[in-house]
Amino acid sequence: MTKQFRAHKPIPAAAPHSPPPKQSGEKGFLLTWSYSFIPALRKHVKRQYRSILFGRHITYSTIYAVTLLVSAWTRTSFGAADETDTFQPYVSESLIYEDNLFRLSDGIDAKSLTGKAERWDLNNRLSAGAKLYFPLGLQEFTFQGSMGDNRYVNNDQLDHISLSGKGIWKWQVGKSFTGTMNYGYRRYMGRFVNTRFFGKDLISDDTALFDINYRPNASWRLNAKYQWLDSQHSASERRFLDFTSNTGIMGIHYQSPAANSIGLQFRHTDARLPNRERRLSTLIDNRYKEYEFGAVYNWKITGKSVLDGHISYLIRSHEEFSQRDFEGEIWQVNYQWTPTGKTSIALSAWRNLLTGTQDLTASYIIANGFSISPTWSATSKISVQAKFSWEEQEYAGDPDLGAREKTRMDTVLNGQLSLSYDFTDHGQLNIGYRAGGRDSSRVLSDYEYNTVFANAILSF
């Protein structure tokens, strides 16, 4: 979990999320530096590679000199970043090393699938963005956006520009009516965890939200919410994943004098995938509707511990192939414990439905898992974060065309250790290591990976 030390500083970009390494000769995984990985990383990093930012060779002494100059310049030229500023710009630079970029099994020949013999890659991401904040009486207006230039050493066909932007209006009418309206856009590259496509697929997501709350008194709140999502894929091989959903939520919530709360809510989602998926000789209509009835809660057990989460009953029905329909409980529980002013531990457990997995065997996955995330603030400027997660995935949404097979089952592990250092009042450096892996009942679907990442952010 990345430290959010100021509201206006962006959360550092971590390595792409995926799962940890299998122990040799055993099922399961071992989250540890392997003796084979460290020399391989050292060998690759020591190479003098072409600059993926400027298109020419650079030396490590040049990088070091530029770093010192930027640090000295920012330290003397700018005051500390202020979260109340109307205009809050930032720049960010990230380096991400992946030893298995495409998440391939050891038994797969990388060149036959990707056209490259190397499995590893080094991604450089240079980003810039800004946030505009305008309070106006009871109203608050926020506009934020960013752009990132992403370059790869071995797979330059994946080079791309990522974009994100959002406009938010937090409104209030009188003392009883409050709400939020926002519109957002995001363009990013699809991941390679659950796919057989290894090219560049730029996903464009448009989102909109309208949320209204009515408080008749200090204890009760009535809520209504509408959410819209339109997701488009640039690669023709993934156009069957284009997705539009309309979601409505209604709820009633109660908050006690001790600030504990409980609520009941109903959610309905109508999801449409306009481009049918081809399976063998059949075109599949993956449209579905969801109905969810549930409760949400937040309980401050003590001054140092909080429990929150939700439990619901979900009904999901498909336009075609009703054998993929789902009915059952989904839930999540989170526990936050802060034993000291410098230490906190977050525990989570869940049973959820994963959708939009970019996998050709299932329209959804039933996921059961847990995670633990400790954080330690060593000093006022240095913090250490760790996270470990385990998840069992059942590919239950398979249309089951052709020969009948057993339901695919995967076990996914992830582990990460990272360090954040506030080197100035407006600068932060983040470094980290992530290991992951998947054990699958489907042949050649297991994999292991190691990732090292570094990220620097300057806010003004």
Supply the pTM of this predicted model: 0.81
**62/67 Cα distance (integer angstroms):** 9
pLDDT for 50 beyond 70: no
Q: How far is CA 291 from CA 221, 228, 241, 362, in A?
A: 22, 16, 22, 20
| Helix or strand holding residue 305 (H, E) | strand 305-318
Which residues have a Cβ under 8 Å from the Cβ of 73 and sit 6 or more positions away? none
Whole-number pLDDT of residue 114: 87
Quote the pLDDT of residue 80.
Answer: 52
Mean pLDDT of 321-344: 93
Q: Percent helix, strand and coil across the chain, each rounded to 5? A: 10, 55, 35
Q: What is the pLDDT of residue 324?
A: 81
pLDDT mean over 125-149: 96
* Whole-angstrom distance, CA of residue 190 vs CA of residue 193: 9
Classify the C-alpha dihedral 348-192-125-89 as positive or negative. negative
What architecture is domain 37-459?
Beta Barrel (2.40)
Q: Per DSSP, what are the bridge partners of residue 135?
A: 140
pLDDT for 49 equals 43
Cα→Cα distances 333→23, 260, 275, Å: 30, 15, 36
Q: What is the H or E stretch that residue 65 is in?
A: helix 60-77
Most confident range (mean pLDDT) of 13-22, 164-173, 235-244, 316-325 is 164-173
Q: Which structure tokens are listed for 271?
A: 């999801």
E strands of 137-242, at which residues? 139-152, 160-173, 177-189, 202-214, 220-233
As a whole number of angstroms, the distance between CA 49 and CA 446 comes to 31
Task: Give residue-wise pLDDT tens across range 21-42.
Answer: 444 443 333 333 333 444 444 4
pLDDT tier for residue 459 given thresholds of 50, 70 and 90 = very high
In this model, does residue 77 exceed pLDDT 70? no
pLDDT at 428 over 90: yes
- What does the pLDDT read at residue 369? 98
When comparing pLDDT for 77 and 372, which is higher?
372
- At residue 400 the predicted structure's pLDDT band, cuts being 50, 70 and 90, is low
Query: What backbone torsions phi and psi does residue 187 show, to the nearest 5 degrees?
Result: -125, 125
pLDDT-derived band at 331 (thresholds 50, 70, 90) equals very high
What's the pLDDT score for residue 356? 63
Give the HSE-up count for residue 244: Cα atoms under 13 Å, Cβ half-sphere: 3
Q: What is the pLDDT of residue 84?
A: 67
DSSP 114: H
Question: Would you say residue 46 has pLDDT above 50?
Answer: no
